[in-house]
Structure formats: C-alpha cells, structure tokens
Amino acid sequence: MLKGLMMDTPLAISALIKHADRHHGDAQIVSRRVEGDIHRCTYRDLHRRARQMANALGTLGVQTSERVATLAWNGYRHMELYFAVSGSGAVLHTINPRLHPEQIAWIVNHAEDKVLCFDITFLPIIEAIAAHCGTVKTWVAMIDKDRMPPSKVSLTCYEDLINANSDRYEWPEFDENLASSLCYTSGTTGNPKGVLYSHRSTLLHTYAAALPDALNMSARDAILPVVPMFHVNAWGLPYVAAMTGAKVVFPGAALDGKSLHDLFEAERVTVSAGVPTVWQGLLTYMEANHLKFSTMNRTVIGGSACPPAMLRLFQEKYGVNVLHAWGMTEMSPLGTACTLKNKHLDLSPEQRLAVQYKQGRVIFGVDMKIVGDDGGDLPWDGKAFGDLLVRGPWVLRKYFKEENVDPLRDGWFPTGDVSTIDPDGYMQITDRSKDVIKSGGEWISSIDIENVAVSHPAVAMAACISARHPKWDERPLLVVVRKPNAQVTKEELLKHYEGKIAKWQIPDDVVFVDSIPLGATGKMLKNRLREQFKDYRLPSA
Ligand code: ADP
C-alpha cells in the first residue's frame, strides 16, 4: 500500500475559533442578554474569553473527557463555552431547560456532569435539582459579580472565573475522535439517550453544513440562530459561523415575534434557522402589524415538516427563501436540505414550490435508503415509502453508556421516519413511524393532513392523530387551534380538504382546542394528544 504523504492534522473544534479570530477577528457577535441589554463583542474577544474560561476549567479540576454542562439561552457566553469546554478536551453537555427538572436531574446524573453553567433565568431549576446531582462540584451562574442572585445553592460567578484567569492558553492537540459534546434526545418515549459527538464528526458536519447546497453560509452573512444552542448545538450554527466568519446575532430568551423582528431589522440579519412553531409566531406578528424584512433573505426550517403554506408565505409575501432541512440529534443533526438543481431552473414557480416542499437531498457525507418491512431496498420513484435509514461520519454508532447495545440495522441507523425518495434523490418525510395513521391497511400521512389544515386562513396550528375505529382500526382525527378572533367550523374545514387529498384520507372529525401541547424543542406532542383522545368516539364509529 502506498500511503498519501499529506499532513495528518487532527480535526479539532479549537481550530474553528482560532480561524475566526485570525481571519475574522473584528466580525461581531451580538447578544440579547438576560441582563436585559444588547451585548456586542467580536470573534477576537470571544476567543480571548474562551481561553480564559479554558484556564478556569483547569482551576476547577475539569479533566479531559469530563462533562461540563450548560443550561443556557443562545448568547456569547454560551458560545464561549462551546469552544472553551470542547477545545480544552472536556465534553460540552448542553441541556434543554424546557425539560421537567426531574428529567434534567436524571440527565445530569447520567452524564455525570462535573460543572454546570447556567443563565440566571434557570436558577429555580438549579435550586430544584442541586441536592439530587451529586456529581456536580461547581454551579456557575453566567453573570457578573454585581448581578449574582442570592441562592441557597453555593454558586460560582462566571465573570469572576474569566477575570481571575489569564488568556494565555494553548489549545491542546489530541486524537480527532475524542468526544467533544453530548446531547440527549428529547425522549418522548422512555428515558432520553445521550448522543456523544467527536471533534472529527463535528468538524466534518461543519464543513458539510456550510456548503451552498446545505445551509449556504458565508462571511457576508449575519446569522440569527433561533434554534436553541441546547437543541443539537443549534443545528451546528455556532461552528459554521466560526468556520465562515459570519456575524452572529443571538436572541437570548426573547423568541416572540416582536423581539425577533426587531433584532432581524436592527442587526441586518440575512439568515435565520428554527422550527415551524417559532416562525408561526413571527409571521402572525408580522401580518398583524404589516411588517416586512429589509435584509433577511433566507431561513432554514426543520425539526418538523415545514407546512407548504408557511413556505409559500415566506417566499411570496416576504421575499425570504426557505431552506427546508431534515435531520435529528443522532445525525449532528443535518441529513438533507432542499435546494434546487440546475435542471429545475426552468420550472414554473408552482413546480419549483412542489420540489421545495420536500425535505431535500442528502448533503455529501450522508448516505440514505428506504426499506420495506422485509428490509429490502425500495425504489427511488417518489411513491414507494418505507423506513428511512442513514449512515455517515456524523451519524450515531452507539448511544452514550449503552455501548453493549447495537442500535444499527446492518450498519445503518434507523431514523424512525417513514419517507419516499424521488428519482432525483429528493427525500420526503411521510411521517414519524409512530404518528402514521393506519386505516384499514392503508397508511395516511398525518403531515399531509396537517399541511392542508394550516393552509386554511383561520387555522393557527393543527395536529392529526389516529382515533380508534371499529371497522378501519384507525381513522384520522384533526385537532385544531384557531387563529385569534378567526372563525371556522368543522364542516368548513372538512370542505377545505376536497380536491386536495384522496377522499378516504379526509379526517373523520375535527376538535377545536385552545392549545396543542408542545415538547421541549417546540414540536407538537402527539403522544400527549393521543393519550388525551384515547377514548374519543368518532361520529363515524
Ligand atoms: P431535530 O428536531 O433537531 O431535527 P430531534 O432528534 O429532536 O432533532 O428530532 C428528529 C426528528 O424530527 C426526525 O426524526 C423527524 O421525525 C423530525 N424532523 C426533523 N426535521 C424534519 C422535517 N424537516 N420534516 C419532518 N420531520 C422532521
């Protein structure tokens, strides 16, 4: 074998911040803080403080591969920890504060976090869990000395840690397969599972995510990640931003329509990313106040299916190109992104939209296939649907602390999603396998039913779940939240389906509710709804 003769430089997260400092040192990181103000710094400042924090972690006794947790909003301190913790060889464990405190304590104990850094908003959670989290030696409040909250838990001040430590720090070199960060799945069934990323997987994901046919990020962008940094590393955006040198705008805790729109405008944001439920709030606010975007030109929508009506509204009314993307925690998270090919450029606007509704093509590095019940490959004809399997260098191989269980199927990771793939390689999610409605042996996509519902002007949110039926086993039941002051009856809504989907797929009944329960990452909790409506008697039953 003739080996290549190129340098064997290990891929390391610290290289990202070094690069951003060296080549984009004056690019800005803007944060709306828990202090209530807008904070500005640069990549140079952020790198300096990350080095100070890396020294501080050393003084706290954090060793290579030990876990340092965060419970924090999107902001510059959180980003400093992204680089200080992973860059120094420890593991950054980002925790979702929207989980129940008991679940947070379970995760902290499972991860054996040694240090936990939190925004003071979350002090009540810390006070609820501290006594049950024996592995945590230091609780760090991410604030300055003057604003340290009184607490029965002994707290360390983040800014004191920074100030007390020198910025002289050389990022260590290590094997690129060293664990860098840890993220738990939402765990809608059973306990959450830990997904342990490495420096290598993170860097490869970052290169791929930045590509023009993926997230398409550059030094000319101002990125506002609405997707939280506790949700699969904000889909990798802090790393992508550092790699490209883009300006970053962090929204902190204010994710309502007005706060977001104000920030988009004031900071001349060009691109954003988030789940459909967040955009729903923003669009409702903008419509009510007749607002436009002056610089925003595109947004990434993923986490759950982007309703076609939302995609159309963004593009046609607001001039914001929508990038529909699909992925999961186990995939770092990016798997597919929906961008057009050269051959699509001559399509009519309607035909282009039909392509854009899909979850998209794999980004290079990810391999995907769909299989039937017998495990055999299904054709890529845009019609056959089956279990979606993936593999690649940023796809999970084993869950953390479950190394004796093989979650793969012949080396492929089963995503739990059901999808089609068309001849051009565009994947479209039909459903989460547990959400699909099995009506008399035929499958009905709950996503399709919901998309039609939210295209009705009076509907704010809709979830389609299965209800028991004596003849068909399951039939679709539509649960709907109306827009404020909007009126629509069950009959009108069902009529809205005519001609849009096959007759037998039209829901059997509609119930109007005040709200639909959302999970910790902003997705509709359909298992909660199924539980709530488990004894529901359909009029057709
Ligand atoms: P994330 O929400 O970041 O994608 P999770 O691991 O919490 O990560 O959830 C992954 C699941 O979310 C996927 O398996 C899929 O069911 C759903 N999902 C993600 N993106 C989309 C999308 N664009 N369309 C439909 N479902 C999606």
Concatenate the DSSP letters of all residues of 469-500 into one string: ETTTEEEEEEEEEEPTT----HHHHHHTTTTT
**pLDDT for res 426:** 98
- How many domains are contained in the chain? 3
Does the CB atom of residue 526 touch ligand 1 within 6 A?
Answer: no
Tell me whether strands 361-362 and 334-337 are parallel, antiparallel or unpaired. antiparallel
Query: What are 192-202's pLDDT values in tens digits?
Result: 999 999 999 99
518 C-alpha to ligand 1 centroid (Å): 14
Do 187 and 90 belong together in one domain?
yes
304 C-alpha to ligand 1 centroid (Å): 5
Flag whether pLDDT at 213 surpasses 90. yes
The enclosing H or E element of 104 equals: helix 101-111
Does the CB atom of residue 450 touch ligand 1 within 6 A?
Answer: no
533 C-alpha to ligand 1 centroid (Å): 24
Average pLDDT over residues 139-153: 98
Flag whether pLDDT at 509 surpasses 90. yes
Residue 131 falls inside a structural domain: yes
Do 240 and 101 belong together in one domain?
yes
CA 522 – CA 531 distance, rounded (Å): 19
360 C-alpha to ligand 1 centroid (Å): 13
Do 421 and 442 belong together in one domain?
no
344 C-alpha to ligand 1 centroid (Å): 26
Question: Last residue of a domain, which of 432, 449, 468?
Answer: 432
Residue 42 falls inside a structural domain: yes
Is residue 481 within 8 A of residue 516, CB to CB? The reply is: yes
Does the CB atom of residue 329 touch ligand 1 within 6 A?
Answer: yes
Which residue of 429, 435, 518 sits with most ligand 1 atoms within 8 Å of its CB, as the best mutation to test the pocket?
Answer: 429
Do 459 and 408 belong together in one domain?
no
Length of the chain measured in residues: 541
Does the CB atom of residue 416 touch ligand 1 within 6 A?
Answer: yes
CA-closest residue to ligand 1 atom 11: 328
CATH of the domain at 422: 2.30.38.10
CA-closest residue to ligand 1 atom 10: 328
CA-closest residue to ligand 1 atom 26: 304
Concatenate the DSSP letters of all residues of 208-225 into one string. Answer: HHHSTTTT---TT-EEEE
303 C-alpha to ligand 1 centroid (Å): 4
Flag whether pLDDT at 187 surpasses 70. no
**pLDDT for res 224:** 98
Does the CB atom of residue 248 touch ligand 1 within 6 A?
Answer: no
Does the CB atom of residue 435 touch ligand 1 within 6 A?
Answer: no
Average pLDDT over residues 93-119: 96
Average pLDDT over residues 449-454: 94
Is residue 216 within 8 A of residue 322, CB to CB? The reply is: no
In the numeric block, which tokens belong to residue 37? 């103000």
The number of the ligand 1 atom at minimal distance from the alpha carbon of 327 is 4
Which residue of 417, 418, 527 sits with most ligand 1 atoms within 8 Å of its CB, as the best mutation to test the pocket?
Answer: 417
Q: Is 388 exposed, middle or buried (0-12, 13-18, 19+ CB in 10 A)?
A: buried
Is residue 227 within 8 A of residue 215, CB to CB? The reply is: no
Smallest Cα–Cα separation from 249: which of 541, 27, 69? 27
The number of the ligand 1 atom at minimal distance from the alpha carbon of 227 is 3
**pLDDT for res 540:** 85
Flag whether pLDDT at 64 surpasses 80. yes
Do 378 and 236 belong together in one domain?
no
Do 427 and 441 belong together in one domain?
no
Does the CB atom of residue 521 touch ligand 1 within 6 A?
Answer: yes
Do 378 and 507 belong together in one domain?
no
Does the CB atom of residue 332 touch ligand 1 within 6 A?
Answer: no
Mean pLDDT of the chain: 96
281 C-alpha to ligand 1 centroid (Å): 19
CATH of the domain at 18: 3.40.50.12780
Average pLDDT over residues 132-148: 98
CA-closest residue to ligand 1 atom 24: 305
Does the CB atom of residue 324 touch ligand 1 within 6 A?
Answer: yes
Residue 79 falls inside a structural domain: yes
**pLDDT for res 443:** 87
Do 378 and 524 belong together in one domain?
no
Does the CB atom of residue 434 touch ligand 1 within 6 A?
Answer: no
Catalytic residue IDs: 185, 330, 438, 443
CA 109 – CA 125 distance, rounded (Å): 15
Residue 204 falls inside a structural domain: no
Residue 267 falls inside a structural domain: no
516 C-alpha to ligand 1 centroid (Å): 18
442 C-alpha to ligand 1 centroid (Å): 24
Largest separation between any pair of C-alpha atoms in the chain = 72
CATH of the domain at 471: 3.30.300.30
Residue 516 falls inside a structural domain: yes
Average pLDDT over residues 19-45: 98
Query: What are 330-374's pLDDT values in tens digits?
Result: 999 999 999 999 999 999 999 999 999 999 999 999 999 999 999
Question: Last residue of a domain, which of 417, 432, 447?
Answer: 432
Do 22 and 101 belong together in one domain?
yes
390 C-alpha to ligand 1 centroid (Å): 14
Do 46 and 176 belong together in one domain?
yes
> Coil, strand, or helix at residue 37?
coil
Does the CB atom of residue 326 touch ligand 1 within 6 A?
Answer: yes
**pLDDT for res 286:** 96
Do 236 and 185 belong together in one domain?
yes
Share of the chain above pLDDT 70, in %: 99
CA-closest residue to ligand 1 atom 2: 303
The number of the ligand 1 atom at minimal distance from the alpha carbon of 329 is 6
In the numeric block, which tokens belong to residue 294? 């002056």
Residue 450 lies in domain: 437-532
Residue 316 falls inside a structural domain: no
Do 454 and 425 belong together in one domain?
no
Which residue of 304, 339, 363, 454 sits with most ligand 1 atoms within 8 Å of its CB, as the best mutation to test the pocket?
Answer: 304
Does the CB atom of residue 304 touch ligand 1 within 6 A?
Answer: yes
Question: Last residue of a domain, which of 406, 432, 458?
Answer: 432
Residue 212 falls inside a structural domain: no
> Coil, strand, or helix at residue 528?
helix
Does the CB atom of residue 428 touch ligand 1 within 6 A?
Answer: no
